[in-house]
Amino acid sequence: MMDELVANALTHAHSESVVECHVADAVLHLEVHDRDPSHFRPISAPGAEGGYGLRVVAALSRAWGCEAEPTGKKVWAELS
């Protein structure tokens, strides 16, 4: 799943990215920080060409999201 978050940042943010992983209470928290202030792209519609990364993240994670940061944004996902 981290590969999907990183691929999305490389494809759309066109900036340096930082990857972080944390484990607490049997939950793996994955984060990708980038310098692009725009929010993530919506999940593609079924049958669309490409754009399935966030669909994979949504299907495999217990929670995920995107948060604005002073230097860009953070896209995160949690696995339990």
The CATH code of the domain that includes 14 is 3.30.565.10
Please tell me the predicted confidence (pLDDT) of residue 55: 83
Expressed as residue numbers, the domain containing 56 is 2-79
Please give the average pLDDT of every successive group of 10 residues along the chain, which has 80 residues: 90 92 97 89 64 85 95 95
Please tell me the predicted confidence (pLDDT) of residue 79: 96
- pTM of the predicted protein model: 0.85
Alpha helices in 1-80 (DSSP H): 2-12, 53-60
| Total of domains in the chain | 1
